[in-house]
Each structure stands twice: as C-alpha cells, then as structure tokens.
Amino acid sequence: MNGVFTRFFSKDYQRKKALARAAPGPLADYLATPFPDRKGDCRDISIVALDLETTGLDPRKDVILSIGLVEINHFGIQLGTAWHSIVRIDRDIPGETAVIHHITDDQSAAGAPIEQLLPELLQRLAGKPMLVHYSPIEQNFIDTACQRLYGAPFVVPIIDTLEIGQRVFVRRNHTIQPGDLRLFNLRPRYNLPQYKAHNALSDALATAELFLAMADNLYPGRPCPLGEFLSRR
C-alpha cells in the first residue's frame, strides 16, 4: 500500500477531515485531540472500553438507551473511571428489546437526554482508542448522534475483541461455529468468569477483561503494539 493511499484512509486523516467540518463544540474538541501512535505499546496507552444498549440494531431508526464504559491504563482496569448512564428517549422502549437489556420506560424517563450525555462521552474518549465487542453498534450509533447534533462524523481508532477473536481462530486453523465469537462465549476460552449480559457497564468491563487476556496471550511479557489490534473498519 503506497503512502498516499495509506494517509488517505488513516484514522488521523479522517479525524482532521471531520474536524474541518465540525462546528465549535464537544465534537470539534474531541476531534482536535490527536490519536495515539499505532506503533505505541498498548501497555502504555489509555484505552476506553465501551458498550451501548440500544432499542435495536439500526441507527437510522433506533436510539441509544444506555452507555457504559471503563478505562484501561498501563494494562490495568481503572474501576474508578467506570461510568454508566441511562438515556432518556422520546419514545416507548420496544418490548422485544426490553426483555434483553431490562431497561424500563420509567428508568429511561429518569435518565438524561443524549444531547447532555454525548459531550461527556466524547470527552472521555478524546485521544484514546475505543475498545468494543462488535464495533458497528458503537461506531454507527455514536456517529449518527454526532452527525445529527454536530454536523460531522465520529472518527475513532477501534479495538474490536470480536475481530481479534476471529483472527485467533483463523491463525490456529479452528473452525468458527455459530456463536463462538460472542463476548460471553469467548471469555471462558481465557478462563474469565461469566457476568450477566446486556448491562452496558458490565459488558464494557467484560470486554476490557477479555482484551487484556487476549493481548497477554498473544504478547506475553513483550511490547504489545497498538497497530496489531486496531480494527480495519
């Protein structure tokens, strides 16, 4: 891949392009912060593990219901950084999704609107990779909110434990069975305990633990280059 092509598609190029479009405010402040060097060691980089619960899977018609995150610093989960917020939405929560995430209409009504929560989320993510399990959900829902509220795209370096798990299966010539790459099916492969699924904060914590176990398994006692874990998305 030649240098011009790489630069055009690099996250930092996309960040600067989005910054030029963004109106002054939380997204512009977020985009003004440089991303970490992909050659850097993950052990020395702050990473934000994030999970969203939503009313569905389509950001064009569905919305964010809750946000959970926790930060990793020097390969340790910093529980003091944990943040969980329920979002107040302008519609009833579909029954078919409420039985999954167990967020009620009353709980949502007591939450804060996404307009109030998104600035804090962007501030927490500024200059850090976003660690998720199956990145299209978080990437697309946050992008949709940013486009609507700030008129510019959300650009972020992504570490996706689902993608890492898939690569490990392929490298070891293991057949991937349906469900193998789910968060709570991958965790036992690294001797991690099970948590109750579909709470944004516990899912973010579960993803953080899984990433640390995966990284330590792949790079035991060695430098852990960020670029080796970044998503191609």
Q: Which of 86, 70, 96, 100 is nearest to 212 (CA)?
A: 70
In angstroms, rounded to a whole number, what is the distance separating the alpha carbons of residues 163 and 131? 11
Instruction: For the chain, give the longest Cα–Cα distance.
Output: 54
In angstroms, rounded to a whole number, what is the distance separating the alpha carbons of residues 220 and 75? 12
CATH numeric code, 3-228:
3.30.420.10
Q: Where are the domains positioned within the chain?
A: 3-228
pTM of the model: 0.94
In angstroms, rounded to a whole number, what is the distance separating the alpha carbons of residues 162 and 164? 5
Q: Which amino acid, 232?
A: R
Q: Where are the beta strands (DSSP E) in 17-167?
A: 47-54, 64-73, 76-86, 130-132, 158-160
In tens, the pLDDT along 109-164 reads 999 999 999 999 999 999 999 999 999 999 999 999 999 999 999 999 999 999 99
Instruction: Write down the pLDDT at residue 6.
Output: 44
In angstroms, rounded to a whole number, what is the distance separating the alpha carbons of residues 76 and 136? 25
In tens, the pLDDT along 78-89 reads 999 999 999 999
The residue with tokens 């970490």 is: 36
